[in-house]
């Protein structure tokens, strides 16, 4: 299958290109970057996913039969001033891509989704069963009360695995744009008879992560600090639960999704959690990475960021059962490899998109 990988020169995208080649597909890349170290030699279209003409040319020029959409602005960012950048890169870019696909009759899409659409993960109260706590209060976080209580009785909760059927509850701008991407893709599928799969990535880590950027994941923060000879700084108390999944496993999940798409019903989007299935704490990741790197031990700071959630771990049974995917990189091996792999340079800031022509009709 000929596949256009948007963002294919990036951290996850470049691994997906390798996985598609290994699976016998013919990938091409659309990316603003000129390339990436280690990126296989494949057809390359240097373009902005928000540029309708460039996107259409890349789709037509590559003869794409399917698209693997990875291009996005990622991470929690710095503050709300980042909102226009996130909405432009993630939602406008996705809308431009889907419109071009609709015009060219391309009907198969794998979307880079995210676990951030859930907000907090699953929690169980001994009295009220499964509950959904609201956003944590700044005064609680400042006082070191990090665990969300039961919204009904205030009792401590037990965190569990979140399934794809959990209601969405995005807690920051990035999360909101990732949910909007899924809604756009679902609308595209219904309108065109397309078939879409959203892989809701959990905490992806591995070689080629970008260094020293507020838009990277927590594992990249820790690895960047170690490379500078500094101790990783762990926010809150380090007991936040996450599902750290290696980038090579995420890449093979994309290959499995592309293989499954032709058998999916037309007009549908199906979401799949994409995680290792082995919850770890943020503190565990920091300690394991520091030990593998041979650097200073982590420092637990008690700092926090509004918009962060306490616990979010994946139930990836649907992906295993329906697509036959299995993670192959154990945590210990993945962390050791990541500790010694070079980090990539952070991507350049996105340029402002060219304004679209506007027609005003008097009423």
Count other Cβ atoms within 10 Å, centred on residue 199: 24
d(CA 309, CA 146): 9
Question: Is the distance from CB of 61 to CB of 4 less than 8 angstroms?
Answer: no
Identify the pLDDT of residue 343: 87
Residue with tokens 């240097």, as numbered in its chain: 46
Cβ-Cβ contacts under 8 Å for 333 (sequence gap 6 or more):
none
Question: Is the distance from CB of 56 to CB of 100 less than 8 angstroms?
Answer: yes
Tell me whether residue 174 is one of the annotated catalytic residues: yes
Give the torsion sign (CA, 222, 224, 227, 228): negative
User: CA-CA distances (angstroms) from residue 49 to 21, 44, 58, 72, 98?
Assistant: 23, 13, 10, 9, 10
d(CA 160, CA 169): 17
* Of the candidates 152, 35, 345, 150, the residue with the CA atom closest to the CA atom of residue 14: 35
Q: Could you tell me whether strands 26-31 and 44-46 are parallel, antiparallel, or unpaired per DSSP bridges?
A: parallel
d(CA 102, CA 122): 36
Q: What is the DSSP letter of 89?
A: I
Identify the pLDDT of residue 39: 78
Enter the tokens of residue 261: 């798409």
Q: Could you tell me whether strands 129-131 and 122-125 are parallel, antiparallel, or unpaired per DSSP bridges?
A: antiparallel
Cβ-Cβ contacts under 8 Å for 141 (sequence gap 6 or more):
236, 304, 306
d(CA 144, CA 218): 20
pTM for this structure?
0.92
Q: Which domains does the chain have, with CATH numbers?
A: 2-121+162-340 (3.40.50.720)
Percentages (nearest 5) of helix, strand, coil residues in the chain: 35, 20, 45
d(CA 143, CA 120): 20
- Active-site choice (174, 201, 215, 272): 174
3-class DSSP state of 80: helix
Residue with tokens 């091409």, as numbered in its chain: 28
Q: What is the pLDDT along the chain (363 residues), one digit of tens a residue?
A: 999 999 999 999 999 999 999 999 999 999 998 776 667 789 999 999 999 999 999 999 999 999 999 999 887 666 788 889 889 999 999 999 999 999 999 999 999 999 999 999 999 999 999 999 988 999 999 999 999 999 999 999 999 999 999 999 998 899 999 999 999 999 999 999 999 999 999 999 999 998 876 656 899 999 999 999 999 999 999 999 999 999 999 999 999 999 999 999 999 999 999 999 999 999 999 999 999 999 999 999 999 988 789 999 989 999 999 999 999 999 999 999 999 998 887 766 666 654 444 343 444
d(CA 168, CA 180): 11
Length of the chain equals 363
């Amino acid at each position: 299958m000929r596949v256009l990988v948007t963002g294919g020169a990036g951290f996850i995208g470049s691994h997906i290109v390798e996985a598609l080649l290994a699976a016998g597909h013919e990938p091409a890349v659309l990316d603003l970057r000129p390339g990436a170290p280690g990126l296989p030699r494949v057809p390359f279209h240097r373009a902005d996913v928000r540029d309708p003409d460039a996107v259409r040319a890349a789709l037509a020029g590559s003869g794409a039969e399917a698209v693997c959409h990875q291009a996005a602005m990622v991470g929690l960012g710095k503050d709300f001033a980042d909102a226009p950048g996130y909405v432009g890169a993630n939602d406008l870019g996705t809308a431009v891509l889907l419109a071009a696909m609709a015009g060219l009759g391309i009907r198969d899409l794998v979307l880079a989704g995210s676990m951030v659409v859930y907000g907090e993960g699953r929690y169980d109260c001994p009295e009220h069963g499964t509950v959904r706590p609201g956003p944590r209060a700044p005064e609680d976080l400042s006082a070191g009360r990090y665990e969300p209580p039961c919204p009904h009785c205030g009792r401590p909760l037990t965190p569990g695995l979140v399934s794809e059927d959990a209601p969405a509850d995005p807690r920051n701008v990035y999360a909101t744009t990732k949910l909007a991407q899924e809604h756009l893709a679902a609308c595209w599928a219904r309108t065109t008879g397309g078939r879409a799969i959203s892989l809701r990535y959990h905490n992806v880590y591995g070689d080629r992560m970008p260094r020293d950027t507020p838009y990277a994941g927590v594992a990249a923060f820790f690895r960047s600090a170690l490379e500078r000879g500094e101790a990783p700084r762990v926010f809150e108390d380090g007991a936040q639960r996450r599902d750290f999944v290696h980038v090579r496993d995420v890449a093979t999940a994309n290959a499995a999704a592309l293989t499954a798409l032709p058998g999916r019903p037309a007009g549908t989007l199906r979401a799949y959690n994409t995680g290792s299935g082995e919850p770890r704490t943020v503190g565990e990741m920091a300690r394991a990475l520091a030990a593998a790197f041979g650097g200073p031990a982590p420092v637990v700071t008690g700092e926090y960021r509004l918009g962060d959630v306490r616990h979010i771990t994946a139930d990836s049974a649907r992906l295993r059962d329906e697509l036959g995917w299995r993670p192959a990189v154990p945590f210990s091996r993945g962390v050791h490899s990541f500790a010694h792999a070079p980090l990539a340079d952070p991507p350049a800031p996105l340029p402002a998109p060219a304004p679209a022509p506007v027609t005003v009709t008097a009423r």
